[in-house]
Structures are given as C-alpha cells and as structure tokens.
Amino acid sequence: MYRFEHKIQAERLFDYYAKLSLDKAIYNLNKYLDSESVSEDRRISCLLKLSILYAKSDNKIELQKTYDQTLSVTFLTNLLNTFDDQSYIVDFLDIDVEGADLEVLESLDFLKYSPALVCVEYIGKKYFGWQQQNHSSTNTVQYFVDKSLSKIADHKIKTICSGRTDTGVNALNQIVHFDTTSKRSDKNWIDGANSNLPDDIRVKRVYRVDNDFHARFLATKRTYKYFINTNIKSTIFNNSYTWVVGDKLSFSSMQLSMKYLKGVHDFSSFRSSGCQASNPQRNVSDISLVKNNGVIVFSITANAFLYHMVRNIAGTLVDIGLKKIRPKDLQIIMSKKNRKYCSKMAPPNALFLWRVSYPQKYKISYNTESILL
C-alpha cells in the first residue's frame, strides 16, 4: 500500500500541470513505481499529475492497478497549507489539468495567500484612539492605517483590531486583520504601508492566517503596561510616555495590593461610564509591579478589559503608593462595584498595549524589547 503524503517544495508545485490523460497517467504511475532507477522526485511528480485529475473527488482514491495503492489527493489550498513557510507568494499561475482547470481554481483560496494580519506600533498622543468613529473622522490610528493599506492594496481596506485603545493611549503590538485580494510580498506590505504612515505609526510585521481568524474574538489574552515615573529629573522618561508623580511613592505598599487584583473578579469599580460590556467579570491571569531606574512598571494580563479599567487601577495604585489609602482598601473598593469608590483615573500617555495572545496554531510572535522596560 503506497500512501502519498509527501510535502513538496514550492517550486515543484506547478510541475503537475503536465498534459497527461488519465489512462496514460495511471500507466506512468505503475511504470515509475515498478522501476527502482526512477528518482523520488519523478515519482512524486507522477503522483501529483494523477492526483489533480481527482481533485474534485474524495480526498482518498483507491487505484486497483498492478499494485494496491492508496493515493491521497487534496485541493490546491490544502497543499499550500502543508508548507512550513506560509509566506510563499504565487506570482504566476498556469493551469493545464485536462478539463479540471475550473475545479482547481475553485479549490484555491485567493484570500488566504495574501497578508490578512498586521502588527502595528503607534504613539497615541496625537490621536483620538484607535477606532474611526465615523466616516468623517480623520484623527484616529485606524483612519491612517486603513488609508495606507488601501493605497498598497489598490482597493478599500477595513481593518479590525484586537482591542480599541483610547485617546492618547499607545500600542507596541496592536494586531489587526483585514481581507484582500491583492498579491504583495510581506516586505512590500510593510514598506509600502510605512511609507504612507505618519512617523508615530508603524507596521512592524504581517502574517498570513486562515479565513477563520479574527483579531478581536480569537484573542485569548491581552497585556497592558503602565509606566509611572518617580524620577522627575529624568530627561528620557518625561511626561510624554510616563506619568510623573515624584519620588514619594511607597513601592512596597503598591506591591502588597497586587494580590487583590489577580484572578476572576467583578471589576465594576474600575470601569468608567460608557462601558458597553454586559459582564463586568474579568480574569486577570498575570499581574506585576517592578521598579527600574526610578520608573515603576505596572503590568497586567487578562482575557479582556473594561473601559478605562487599567488606567483606573493605575490611579488607585498611585494613591496606595502615596498612602492616601491602604493596600487592603483595594479589596473593599472592588467589593463596592461602583466607580465612585476608586481613585482618579491615570492619564493615557503612559499606557501601552504591550501584546495580544492567540492560539498557538497562528504562530504570532512578538519582539517586545523597549527602552521603557
């Protein structure tokens, strides 16, 4: 029994468009399998030629001819899926498969093999958040990203993001997805988009993903970092990207309060009015507070966040550091489930969307190195 499951190289993909009739293909298949002198490459080529003729049939075709053989056939998109390098670009497609041309074309997912996922970095100081609120809104990050990508794609692009950042909030790794029929290399997408973007917005990477991918709904975790500056003399960590609060913070008091935030809780006390979430419960899977060269970095990871949740928590942590409230008061504030009991909201400029996590099969990786670490 011979089962064909060989992963071929991309350049061999078009070798199976030979002009062979079904009878001759079967004849050649048996001939090649019978000969030990024929290279494995030629065996594969012959099997591919035959498999195309059955592309519209079931995935497994039984051939009773000289040998008992099981020939595993597949659609063109499925074949492309077997490549380890998903960045392969088809620039020229020539199909000659003995009357099955339309079936092969119908089996090819043209959307999948164009970039559908982009990683974006931006400084949000000058923008009214990520999302374009209406058609006339031109001062959002999404407006500039969509406009730039549309120019490269040569058709209108509408992106969907992993999480909407508010006015003035920054992102180190914002994930967005979009659909396109345009064929561009990864480098052309990145360089082309960045050439049309303002200096404070950058496309960092592109990924090719399945059609079922959704940047928002498939995100499993999101991580935010908030930077609190206790060194007011710093010229680097100034109030552009940190919240300058002075050197009177009790770091140990702030650390003691961390335990009350981790886990599944009702965070109603930390969501602002206008929050549209129907369920205020969130699962905080990781939380930390570190201090480096006078900068306190508050990091929080959860499945999702409520409106202004991170900034309201950051403001409360600073009040704990200033000893306006005790660490254990954080638990009392959470139990009230009312925004009026938490502290003043921290400013947006020091907040960064740090990373967004997805199921491993999508192979989305990050470089989160930054001078702000």
Q: Which of 85, 80, 87 has the alpha carbon at shortest distance from 108? A: 80
Q: Which of 195, 193, 208 has the alpha carbon at shortest distance from 152? A: 193
Low-confidence stretches of the chain (pLDDT < 70) are 1-77, 79-118, 120, 122-123, 127, 132-137, 232-239, 366-373
- Euclidean distance between CA atoms 218 and 165, whole angstroms: 18
Q: Which of 156, 155, 125 has the alpha carbon at shortest distance from 140? A: 125
Q: What is the dihedral of CA 288, 289, 292, 293, to 10 degrees?
A: 160
> For position 309, what pLDDT does the model report?
95
Its pTM stands at: 0.65
> For position 250, what pLDDT does the model report?
93
Location of each CATH 3.30.70.580 domain in the chain: 117-207
Q: How many CB atoms lie within 10 A of CB 165?
A: 25
Which residues are designated catalytic? 166
> For position 335, what pLDDT does the model report?
94
Strands annotated E in 41-107: 60-65, 67-72
Q: Does domain 117-207 have CATH number 3.30.70.580?
A: yes
- Euclidean distance between CA atoms 329 and 343, whole angstroms: 11
Q: At what angle do helices 309-321 and 329-336 cross, to 10 degrees?
A: 150
Token code pair at residue 243: 């919240």
Location of each CATH 3.30.70.660 domain in the chain: 221-357
Structure confidence by residue, pLDDT tens digits, 115-153: 445 676 766 777 677 776 665 567 888 889 999 999 999
> For position 246, what pLDDT does the model report?
78
> For position 270, what pLDDT does the model report?
95
> For position 72, what pLDDT does the model report?
58
User: Domain 221-357's class?
Assistant: alpha beta
Structure confidence by residue, pLDDT tens digits, 193-216: 999 998 888 998 888 888 888 988
